């Protein structure tokens, strides 16, 4: 089966950059920004919680909807085109609030609804489009890896640029400049993907939109097994992300180096993806993912032994675990595309599968916070106090995710059957 050209692959992947860049400022800057405007922090937190839950619940519906748009009318590309302006408008409104204090809460709620809806719809449609672009075992991994590189680039830009603008212009002006500049970037990238990107070849009649369409993936036993692995592995990755600021400040006592640690981790993830793509093509995706999980545990467990002044050693931990993280970006979604083949009849229900997949990503983040933060409190950790190597913070930050990652590896090894070899034969 022919592979996508580099130009076609780039055109498909480019919209992942602004989509990945959109989420981080919402999580990092919105609470502090709106609290600084006079809105009570409890109100901000409640709005974020309720709307995030509604956003997660809507993901399977958006996924099923993506499968119902005929390719002759644009298919998933049409959904990306419709969602991008919503996201651009939502992010701009979010960071250009009215001066009246009484309007802040409804303004925040409305702009979050637009932002979440646009981001979820565009992301799910983009994942589903990538899954439908090729039936080739190795090519699917190449597609997901290219999307992952673009997404990591977006995360790096979103981690640095808003903060630099805030430092230079202040929170209100800096964030509004970011939102204003983000809009043309998103719309241009979406236009490239929609008009210049590759198209799915199948144009089967769309299935009816109903409850059965939303839960259809749950009838696939291989999807249920892969979804469990993905969820457990996602929790393992999200625990350190939740606690990194605490670990850098109280264990390493170098909070100033947190951006550098993140940079090393994400750049290593991008650099490692070609390795995992080649290994998956040669040995199989599940075997490659297992090896990446083993590397992640072997690298990250050393964080437990680090203390004040061990910034260089932690940078090495970030480098090695980042290399393993590249597999998380390249392989699970490619495995899911293979699993969807089990459910392919007249048309591929990629959207329904990736809608639930998106929901699992958000659930992993919620579970990580719900497990790690209460565990720290139960163990007696107090934020802002120095914590030595081997402390409660080190246990939850380093050992807990390693144990969860080992559980994910065992589930992948014992319960998930890839069924196809890299050559496409029955395994």
Q: Give the CATH number, domain containing residue 395.
A: 1.20.1250.20
Find, among 268, 262, 192, 334, the residue nearest to 24 by Cα: 262
What whole-number distance in Å separates Cα of residue 303 and Cα of residue 180?
40
Phi/psi of residue 426, nearest 5 degrees: -65, 135
Rounded to the nearest integer, the mean pLDDT of the chain is 85
What whole-number distance in Å separates Cα of residue 223 and Cα of residue 337?
10
Check residue 323 and give its pLDDT.
Answer: 94
Does position 273 have pLDDT exceeding 50, yes or no? yes
Distances (CA, A) of 425 to 50, 140, 213, 237, 419: 46, 16, 30, 32, 8
- Confidence category of residue 416, pLDDT binned at 50, 70, 90: confident
Same domain, 305 and 401: yes
How large is the average pLDDT for residues 242-262? 85
Same domain, 192 and 227: no
What whole-number distance in Å separates Cα of residue 417 and Cα of residue 427?
9
Question: Residue 192's CB: how many other CB atoms inside 10 A?
Answer: 16
Check residue 423 and give its pLDDT.
Answer: 47
Q: What is the pLDDT of residues 104-156, one digit of tens each?
A: 999 999 999 999 999 999 999 998 888 888 888 788 888 988 998 899 899 88
Does position 206 have pLDDT exceeding 60, yes or no? no
Same domain, 295 and 369: yes
Count of domains forming the chain: 2
Question: Residue 204's CB: how many other CB atoms inside 10 A?
Answer: 13
Residues 349 and 67 sit within 8 Å (Cβ to Cβ) = yes
Same domain, 219 and 186: no
Q: What percent of the chain has pLDDT over 90?
A: 37
Residue 273 three-state SS: helix
Q: Give the residue numbers spanning the domain of 135.
A: 1-199
Q: What is the pLDDT of residues 57-103, one digit of tens each?
A: 888 888 888 877 777 777 889 999 999 999 999 999 999 999 888 89
Q: What is the pLDDT of residues 141-195, one digit of tens each?
A: 889 889 988 998 998 888 778 877 877 888 788 888 999 999 999 999 999 999 9
Find, among 329, 301, 310, 284, the residue nearest to 400 by Cα: 301
Does position 313 have pLDDT exceeding 80, yes or no? yes
Check residue 205 and give its pLDDT.
Answer: 54
296 located within any domain: yes
Find, among 396, 50, 358, 41, the residue nearest to 241 by Cα: 396
Check residue 207 and give its pLDDT.
Answer: 57
How large is the average pLDDT for residues 348-377? 83
350 located within any domain: yes
Both tokens assigned to 12: 């498909």
How large is the average pLDDT for residues 226-243? 91
Check residue 2 and give its pLDDT.
Answer: 64
258 located within any domain: yes
Same domain, 161 and 234: no
Cα Rg of the chain (Å, integer): 21
207 located within any domain: no
378 located within any domain: yes
Same domain, 139 and 266: no
Q: What percent of the chain has pLDDT over 70?
A: 92
Among 169, 199, 229, the domain boundary falls at: 199
On the CB side of 142, CA atoms within 13 Å amount to 17
Residues 193 and 201 sit within 8 Å (Cβ to Cβ) = no
Same domain, 183 and 251: no
What whole-number distance in Å separates Cα of residue 12 and Cα of residue 8?
6
Same domain, 338 and 403: yes
Same domain, 13 and 71: yes
Check residue 368 and give its pLDDT.
Answer: 84
Same domain, 5 and 54: yes
Burial label for 235, CB within 10 Å (0-12, 13-18, 19+), is buried
Residue 420 three-state SS: strand
182 located within any domain: yes
């Amino acid at each position: 089966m022919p592979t996508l050209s580099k130009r076609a692959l780039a055109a498909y992947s480019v919209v992942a950059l602004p989509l990945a860049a959109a989420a981080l400022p919402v999580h990092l800057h919105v609470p502090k920004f709106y609290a600084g405007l006079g809105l009570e922090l409890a109100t901000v937190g409640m709005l974020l919680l309720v709307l995030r839950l509604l956003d997660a619940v809507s993901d399977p519906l958006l996924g099923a909807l993506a499968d119902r748009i005929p390719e002759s009318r644009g298919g998933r590309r049409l959904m990306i085109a419709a969602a991008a302006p919503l996201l651009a408008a939502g992010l701009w409104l979010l960071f250009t609030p009215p001066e009246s204090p009484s309007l802040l809460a409804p303004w925040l709620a409305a702009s979050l609804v637009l932002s979440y809806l646009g981001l979820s719809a565009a992301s799910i449609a983009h994942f589903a489009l990538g899954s439908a672009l090729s039936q080739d075992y190795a090519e699917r991994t190449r597609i997901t890896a290219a999307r992952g590189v673009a997404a990591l680039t977006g995360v790096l830009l979103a981690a640095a640029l808003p903060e630099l603008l805030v430092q230079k212009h202040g929170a209100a002006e800096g964030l509004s400049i970011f939102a204003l500049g983000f809009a043309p970037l998103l719309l241009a990238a979406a236009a490239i993907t929609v008009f210049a990107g590759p198209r799915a070849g199948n144009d089967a009649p769309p299935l009816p939109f109903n409850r059965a369409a939303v839960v259809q993936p749950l009838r696939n036993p291989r999807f249920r097994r892969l979804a469990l692995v993905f969820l457990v592995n996602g929790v393992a990755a999200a625990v350190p992300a939740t606690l990194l600021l605490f670990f850098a400040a109280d264990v390493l006592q170098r909070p100033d180096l947190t951006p550098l640690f993140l940079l090393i981790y994400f750049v290593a993830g991008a650099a490692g993806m070609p390795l995992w793509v080649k290994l998956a093509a040669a040995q199989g995706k599940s075997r490659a993912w297992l090896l990446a999980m083993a590397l992640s545990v072997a690298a990250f467990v050393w964080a437990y032994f680090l203390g004040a002044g061990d910034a260089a050693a932690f940078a090495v931990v970030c480098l090695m675990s980042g290399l393993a993280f590249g597999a998380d970006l390249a392989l699970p979604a490619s495995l899911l595309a293979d699993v969807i083949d089990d459910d392919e009849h007249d048309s591929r229900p990629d959207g329904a599968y990736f809608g639930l997949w998106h929901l699992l990503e958000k659930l992993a983040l919620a579970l990580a916070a719900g497990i790690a933060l209460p565990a720290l409190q139960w163990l007696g950790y107090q934020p802002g106090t120095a914590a030595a190597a081997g402390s409660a913070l080190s246990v939850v930050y380093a050992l807990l995710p390693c144990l969860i990652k080992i559980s994910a590896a065992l589930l992948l090894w014992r319960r998930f059957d890839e069924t196809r070899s890299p050559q496409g034969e029955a395994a």
